[in-house]
Chain A
């Protein structure tokens, strides 16, 4: 796995377009990894992660715009909000099974979006928050060039992958496996279902919130439609699933495939045809679900292992 990390590191001196593309891949990959903790490892298909994302973005943005608080500090509020939101959502919904859980999270997601729109005096409603660029200021994470953003996003992605890796190898990761397998059996051998799920959801929320903080300064525009809608929730889920849910690198692969697809279809058809990339996502998802439920990453696993054994055989 460490070898794969090396492959990711060709630190670009490419043109701006490629850097931006890569940055997008990184932060969506991080979102996918964050979701994967509870959704892939835990098997709890949360559709509320857009809400968690919004809870990370709005406090950060509002503190910055209204009070001039640097996102380095404001971001902590954002992450905290995401975690608290997650616990509030998780506690009642985790007792639900299967599709009821998905529906419950969907409802909470919509509630969050509605509330963000409604309290427009505080959140600027549908107009959204605009983070103005007032010149280069690292302390405020404002950079004129894309490179710093690239590295920050990469760092966040690496963190997310690392968390996924540690979880998968730890007691809580095994307990998640049990929960995903059979919740009754898991309970009968001592797994505290709710606590385990809440812990993992909190981790997932914290990471999601972290990406949201980055998003706030990078994209610099936050509005309910783009950060709190079901579309975003679904997109995150698709990235994780298509790549390989329940695997450490799956969501990264998912982002690496899906984000460029979006770019290509936007370029090809013009970004007015926003639906095109999602159509492709959906077709991919359906194919994956029916024929390769563990995601695309398993197709890479075998050649990867062969590569490893060749390299270590020769070494």
Chain B
């Protein structure tokens, strides 16, 4: 039996999964720290894409370089959004938070639509069509590079959270907000940082995708939804869960697309989503937090 289509699908799935992981980890950090489900998460990814696109248009620099500009900017933007908008509803009932982030989502997407139009744009790079060939499996270079970068970012994040004081303070705040306040941690600042990081990760994923994924205002919706699925699968607030969940979802999507029907690739993902929501809302691995 020719295992190539299967192997190909798995490889594709894993590569995309790495990017999904970035987005999902961002979302789960936001939830873990301040208990807010960010319905606008995908839109920040989209802004990362557009930021990279426009910078590339004006400077000609490669996205992998531009990412170092886009990510800090998005971090600041995220922190700002948190301070001005999200902070006001942090202790409000869930409905209010959902509506606010939904509103932000609609706002960002449609502002992008208004400013830049719906046409897809691409960021050309010299290596867009290059690929490695592992046996019979075709590994597109841009996706591989993006995956490697995503892994690097994840490792950086892990180091930050475990080795730095700020990272530890963030973790303390997500464990127990009141306790953290008693220890002298400024929770509002923590929330700003957490949201900034979460959103910056999404934007980073967006930037990394520009060489092989079209940039357009509605791009965020898809990834936002995937991020939710991953986070629920892995457990809300559970970073390791998000990483593993992302790979699972990436591979599922890829396999469904390959062996069932291309149009139905998302269908498989959603079915898993619903099943997890119903039977194990704390995540497959458990350790996630229910509301």
Which A residues have a C-beta under 8 Å from some C-beta of B?
43, 45, 92-93, 95-100, 102-104, 106-108, 110-111, 114-115, 117-118, 230, 234, 237-238, 241, 273-276, 278-279, 281-283, 285-286, 289-290, 293
Which B residues have a C-beta under 8 Å from some C-beta of A?
37, 39, 85, 88-89, 94-100, 102-107, 109-114, 217, 221, 225, 228-229, 232, 261, 263-264, 266-267, 270-271, 273-274, 277-278, 281, 290-291
Pick the contact of B107: A95, A100, A115, A286 (CB < 8 A): A286
Knowing A107-B273, A114-B264, A114-B267, say if A275 contacts B103 (CB, 8 Å).
no
Closest 8 CB pairs of A and B: A275-B113, A98-B94, A282-B107, A275-B110, A99-B37, A285-B103, A282-B106, A278-B110
Q: Whole-angstrom distance between the alpha carbons of A99 and B103 in the complex?
A: 14
A286/B85 in contact, CB under 8 A = yes
A289/B99 in contact, CB under 8 A = yes
Task: Tell me which residues across on chain A come within 8 A of B266, comparing CB atoms.
Answer: 110, 114
CB distance from B38 to the nearest CB of A (A): 10
CB distance from B235 to the nearest CB of A (A): 12
Knowing A43-B95, A99-B37, A115-B267, say if A108 contacts B113 (CB, 8 Å).
no
B277/A285 in contact, CB under 8 A = no
Task: Tell me which residues across on chain B come within 8 A of A289, comparing CB atoms.
Answer: 89, 96, 99-100, 103
Residue pairs across A and B with Cβ atoms less than 8 A apart, 15 shown, are A45-B95, A92-B278, A99-B94, A107-B225, A107-B273, A115-B267, A230-B221, A241-B99, A275-B111, A276-B110, A276-B114, A282-B104, A282-B105, A285-B106, A290-B100
Task: Tell me which residues across on chain B come within 8 A of A230, comparing CB atoms.
Answer: 221
B106/A110 in contact, CB under 8 A = no
Task: Tell me which residues across on chain A come within 8 A of B277, comparing CB atoms.
Answer: 92-93, 96, 100, 103-104, 107
Q: Whole-angstrom distance between the alpha carbons of A290 and B261 in the complex?
A: 44
Q: Whole-angstrom distance between the alpha carbons of A114 and B107 in the complex?
A: 25
CB distance from B123 to the nearest CB of A (A): 22
Given A100-B291, A286-B104, A289-B100, 10 new contacts (CB under 8 A): A93-B277, A97-B290, A98-B37, A99-B97, A102-B37, A102-B98, A103-B37, A111-B267, A114-B266, A290-B100
CB distance from A232 to the nearest CB of B (A): 12
CB distance from B82 to the nearest CB of A (A): 14
Query: Which residue among A43, A97, A99, A276 has the maximum number of chain B CB atoms within 10 Å of its CB?
Result: A99
Q: Which residue of B lies closest to A277 (CB)?
A: B110
Task: Tell me which residues across on chain B come within 8 A of A237, comparing CB atoms.
Answer: 99, 102
Q: Which residue of B lies closest to A291 (CB)?
A: B88
Q: Whole-angstrom distance between the alpha carbons of A278 and B109 in the complex?
A: 9
